[in-house]
Amino acid sequence: MRTRCSTIIAMSLLVFAVALTGCAKRPATTAAAAPAPTGSSGTTGGGSTGSGTTSSGSQMQPGGGGTASTQPGSTGGGTTSSGGGTGTQAPASTARPAIRDFAADSNLGDIFFDFDKYDIRQADTRTLDSNAQWLKSNPNHLVLIEGHCDERGTNEYNLALGERRAKSTMNYLVSQGVQANRITIISYGEERPSCTDKSEQCWAKNRRAHFLVKPR
């Protein structure tokens, strides 16, 4: 009887020891679990760029170059985007002659522009090539280029657009070998139309660059 009790007690102690051993191993399972993510959710992929900001947090400016070319009175980037593909702005004349001394010459033809544009059209390059050839053959003449617009748009906007048209024309002539210091430009905007009808055909005639010359 005493041996049986000892056996039961021994078995009970063994079961109790196994139970204690199992409880001690459970924290190891938890500790072996994957660690929490170390990255912040706010720094992933497209979150910051999709909000219209740069990686430094500064606000992106939409439409960088587009607005500068349409600002009234701006003379910066307009001329470099046209002018017969020269890509550079010709230096302006330092000594501006009196405009009243210039006169029209039948050897120099006008060129024309699309609505709200100052690019040199392919169809007008022949006229400009002919004008450039005449000017190079007559180096004793200075040239005045007038920029004109149709009546649509504000006065301020059209004055700026007329200047861009005159500068584009000047840049093309310079690219063909005409010295920049022989050229003066002026914009009249919509102030001196060659046609006064209210029609597209008439407005197209007013969107022009006109040439005047004077002896040196």
Q: What is the pTM of this model?
A: 0.57
CATH class of segment(s) 121-204: alpha beta
pLDDT score recorded for residue 160: 97
pLDDT score recorded for residue 63: 31
How do residues 67-87 score in pLDDT, each as one tens digit? 223 233 333 333 333 344 444
pLDDT score recorded for residue 168: 98
pLDDT mean for each 10 residues of the chain (216 residues): 60 56 36 33 34 34 30 34 42 65 96 97 97 97 97 96 98 98 97 94 97 95
Strands (E) across 62-172 are located at: 111-112, 141-148
pLDDT score recorded for residue 97: 74
pLDDT score recorded for residue 191: 96
CB 114 within 8 A of CB 82: no
Strands (E) across the chain are located at: 111-112, 141-148, 183-189, 208-215
Give the Å distances, CA to CA, from 140 to 80, 145, 179, 213.
Answer: 28, 17, 11, 10
pLDDT score recorded for residue 155: 96
Residues 200, 115: Cα–Cα separation, whole Å: 10
Name beta bridge partners: 112. 208
Give the Å distances, CA to CA, from 71 to 3, 140, 149, 155, 159.
Answer: 109, 37, 16, 13, 11
pLDDT score recorded for residue 85: 42
CB 145 within 8 A of CB 184: yes
pLDDT score recorded for residue 212: 98
Query: What 3-state class would DSSP assign to 72?
Result: coil
Residues 178, 39: Cα–Cα separation, whole Å: 64
**Domain limits, the chain:** 121-204
CB 160 within 8 A of CB 204: no
CB 128 within 8 A of CB 169: yes
Element (H, E) at 172: helix 155-175
pLDDT score recorded for residue 181: 96
